[in-house]
Structure 1
Amino acid sequence: MALSSPSSPSSCLLGLLFFLIFSVLQRSIVVAQLSLNSEEQESVYRVLEAVNSEVPWRSLFPDDFCSSAPHGVACDFFVDGAAEAVHVTELSFGYVSDYSPNPPCTESSTVDSRLLLPFKHLRKLFFYKCFTERPVFMSAVSISASSLEELVFIENPSLVGSLAGQLGNLTSLRRLVLTGNNVSGEIPGGLGDLTNLEEIMLSRNKFSGEVRFSINKLKKLKVLDLSYNGLTGNIPESIGELPKLLKLDLSSNRFSGKIPHTLKNLKNLEFLDMSYNLFTNSGIPLCLAEMPNLKELYLSGNFFGGHIPEIWDKLGGIVGVGLSGTGLVGNIPASMGTFLRNVVYLGLDNNGLEGTVPEELGYLSSLNELNLENNNLKGRLPFSANFAAKLGDKLKLEGNPELCIDEGLWSPKIASSLGQLKLCKKPSLPNPVPFSGGILVTPVYLVSILGFFVSLMLVVA
């Protein structure tokens, strides 16, 4: 068997692998040999005690935190000029799961920005369900470390105050996640200057005012979630200048005006949720047809009005469509059943849709939920018994008084979702007519006989 030459690709890859393994081991040995400076060591103890004073942290972890620390506290190796040192790079608190057993928080958990000052090399600060009773202001958890890459606060209902003046120095920040807190005020304009941001999640807070930060500067942004706040005004046109954006969620705010046509430039966008705002009388945006990677589209709760546009041939990859309560009128396009072959959820309820239900919707093999409630649909439901049984109570048809189903389609499994839907009348058959000799014939048969005799008389004449 021929041996690989020293310069072959496999030899190069093997050499690179050994180099990486050696580098990691060497780094670990260096970190283990170096000690955390006493100021940072003491600061870690103080933060742990502020988060959970019920745990004897000093006796449980008497050694250097960079050689032995609870999960959620991490260090790394740095070279400052000619000097080598280790510093704390991660502080994560709040038990998430057995896979992320961070130091647990208590009802009295708190923190003070002065405790965080010594951590000049911190890259990640994380709090999960820590501030639940005792009010903690955003200013108390502010950190000025320009090295910070992740600032994460999830489900901390007692975290209050505003972001004003809290973000200016965080030029390395990649993730800003503040979700499920009570942070309020306007989103600071300085947010647009943090050009390394890849993820902004400010959902479920009390932010208000308009979106004024220079959003078009954030060219690396992949996720923008401002949902469930009190934001107002128009959505800035510059939102279409985010080439890497994958998810845009602005739902449950008070945005008004029109959805900007510049969304068509978001060619990589996969998730779009603008539901439950104050957009009115502008129709479903046609620019959606120019977003080929869209997989989820939710616009419910805005009175767009108009008809459902014929754009679905360009959106075959969609798995979820929510157009509930959007003031739609006219017919349901058959093209939705023709082109949305991957759709799992389709919500068209609480509109003014009329006409019959397209037979093509019954061919959507991936569909798990179809909501057509509270429209003006009529006629026979064209679905098969197998299709109806598959969807079960996720086939929602109530509130369409002129819609009917065949008797064979009804089953206890879907009864709750049908409401007062009536059974379709069976096609009327001709009534039999008595004939002499006790034979029953139909009117059609009588006409046939009469026609025969007329023809015979014409021939004889």
Structure 2
Amino acid sequence: MSFPLSKISILFFFLSLSLISSQPNTLSSNEQESVYRVLDSINSAINWRSLFPDDLCLSAPHGIVCDYFPDDNYINPHIVELNFGYVSDYSSNPPCGPNSSFTPSLTSFPFLRKLFFYKCFTGKQITLPGYFRNLGSSLEELIFIENPSLVGSLNGRIGNFTRLRRLVLSGTGIFYSIPHSFGALPELEQLVMTRNRLSGGIPAGLGNLKKLKILDLSYNELEGEIPGNFGEISGLLKLDLGFNRLEGKIPNQLVGLKNLEFLDLSFNRFGNFGIPVFLAEMRNLKEVYLSGNELGGQIPEIWEKLGGILGIGMSGLGLVGNIPPSMGVFLRNLCYLRLDNNMLEGSLPKELGFLDSVKEMNLENNKLSGRIPFSDKFSAKVGGKLKLGGNPNLCVDSFKNDGGVLSDLRVCEKPVIPKAVFLSVGSSLRPKFFCFFFFFFHVGLLLLEVRN
């Protein structure tokens, strides 16, 4: 099919008009001014207007990001990311000053997708502003990392952001409880609120976050029990609730976390229920840390199904009994093993010496006994990360004055081998002995004569 030349010319004419009308405009003066004001509040020592006098969507500090949106047959630029705080030469965001603040409102950015602050609020205390709940439905990432002077409560500060995928509050002075409204963030994939001052219980509503991949609430002051419905977050890859005040029983419902790779419940107040045997059903586990909880009991035989584990932390659990040889048989990818400060007893399984990938093994302060079964090659490979002290009944076959980890262990006692005993005839038995000798001697001679 062919078009007359005149029709082709008309077609190109209208296409040209369409392209001209679709050329991007400049950033609106309102958004441009808002960016300057935010930059001034972050670091007033820098003259941002002089350094960046032109359209900030064409020439802006690293970390100020624009995108283009069609609007009334035009393509209009809008601010979509505000990243503050120098991270590295590869992420050289505008550096924050010693008196950074939230002086201007951030609600002048209706298309904002990401708001990021790294080490910006480290001096005077800054309260998390209430207008955060009105930032707009376009926000996808809200991130605060290492801002110890940022204080206040989260209640009423975080809105129902229908598109929010990442919420990170790490290393702040935020206190009080986790708002129940966090359970109504349908697109949330990453919720990290570690090293804050959060208290109270964990809202069961967080179990409704079906798209969650990472949940990290570690290093807070959270209390109560783990909500059982956490086991319904089937796509969860990381669950870190370590270093809180959680108590009760580790819920069996967590067995539903079939995709979980990282589990840290260490240094809480879980007690007297033993190591959960349902761990055997979580076959994607790569790291499990339970240290610092008085779980008690013996180490269960669950390792055949967990051959992919790389790290195990079970220090100070009150464990008793022996170390199962199956740990050395099946955990061939294991790099890190801590069973120290328990009450484990018996000999060390020689199978632990088969762990070719292990880089650290801490068995200190138990009641282990007997000979060390590890080869010199294994001991040299692990080096100072092989810790066996605090087991006075462990020993090595020979003294090692190499400064290594086995140098301080005592040398095993050599087994006592009975010496050969030679018959010694006392003087009182000599007459009878010679009588018997001569008797059998003469009998022997008589038999020889008879044969001849």
Confirm or deny a common fold (TM above 0.5): yes
Name the residue aligned to 1:116.
Answer: 106
Contact 1:319/1:345 (8 A) holds in 2: yes
Cα distance in 1, alignment partners of residues 272 and 152 from structure 2:
36
Contact 1:111/1:140 (8 A) holds in 2: no
Helix, strand or coil for the counterpart of 1:74? strand
Cα distance in 2, alignment partners of residues 314 and 30 from structure 1:
59
What's the TM-score, normalizing by structure 1?
0.85
* Paired residues for 1:48-447 under 5 Å: 48-80=39-71, 82-112=73-103, 114-139=104-129, 142=132, 143-407=134-398, 411-414=402-405, 419=408, 421-431=409-419
* Per-residue deviation, 1:131: 0.4
Residue type of the alignment partner of 1:116:
L
Residues 197-227 of structure 1, C-alpha deviations (whole Å, 9 max, x = no match): 0000000000000012512221110000000
Residues 257-284 of structure 1, C-alpha deviations (whole Å, 9 max, x = no match): 1111111111110000000000000000
* Per-residue deviation, 1:81: 5.2
Name the residue aligned to 1:450.
Answer: none
* Per-residue deviation, 1:380: 0.5
Cα distance in 2, alignment partners of residues 265 and 204 from structure 1:
27
Contact 2:370/2:393 (8 A) holds in 1: yes
Cα separation, partners in 2 of 1:354 and 1:119, compared to 1, 3 Å: same
Contact 1:124/1:149 (8 A) holds in 2: yes
Greater C-alpha radius of gyration: 2
Tell whether 2:38 aligns with 1:47: yes
* Per-residue deviation, 1:84: 3.5
Cα distance in 2, alignment partners of residues 409 and 263 from structure 1:
47
* Per-residue deviation, 1:83: 5.0
Name the residue aligned to 2:8.
Answer: none
Cα distance in 2, alignment partners of residues 363 and 100 from structure 1:
44
Residue type of the alignment partner of 1:117:
T
Identity %: 57
Contact 2:204/2:227 (8 A) holds in 1: no
Structure 1 unaligned regions, length at least 5? 1-25, 437-452
Contact 1:111/1:141 (8 A) holds in 2: no
What's the TM-score, normalizing by structure 2?
0.87
Residue type of the alignment partner of 2:302:
I
Name the residue aligned to 2:432.
Answer: none
* Per-residue deviation, 1:427: 2.6
Residues 150-175 of structure 1, C-alpha deviations (whole Å, 9 max, x = no match): 00000001010011112223221000
Residues 373-403 of structure 1, C-alpha deviations (whole Å, 9 max, x = no match): 0000001111101111111110101111111
Residues 269-311 of structure 1, C-alpha deviations (whole Å, 9 max, x = no match): 0000000000000000011000010000000000000000000
* Paired residues for 1:17-32 under 5 Å: none
CA-based RMSD of the aligned residues comes to 2.4
Residues 29-53 of structure 1, C-alpha deviations (whole Å, 9 max, x = no match): 967x411111110010011011111
Residue type of the alignment partner of 2:215:
L
Residues 137-195 of structure 1, C-alpha deviations (whole Å, 9 max, x = no match): 11267252110000000000101001111222322100001111111110000000001
Residue type of the alignment partner of 1:339:
F
Contact 1:385/1:409 (8 A) holds in 2: no
Residues 35-83 of structure 1, C-alpha deviations (whole Å, 9 max, x = no match): 1111110010011011111111101100011111110000111124555
Structure 2 unaligned regions, length at least 5? 1-17, 425-436, 448-452
Residue type of the alignment partner of 1:130:
C
Contact 1:191/1:213 (8 A) holds in 2: no
Cα separation, partners in 2 of 1:213 and 1:65, compared to 1, 3 Å: farther
Helix, strand or coil for the counterpart of 1:41? helix
Contact 1:384/1:409 (8 A) holds in 2: no
Cα distance in 2, alignment partners of residues 433 and 30 from structure 1:
110
Cα distance in 1, alignment partners of residues 51 and 166 from structure 2:
32
Cα distance in 1, alignment partners of residues 229 and 160 from structure 2:
24
Matched pairs, number: 411
Residues 229-253 of structure 1, C-alpha deviations (whole Å, 9 max, x = no match): 0000010000001111000000000
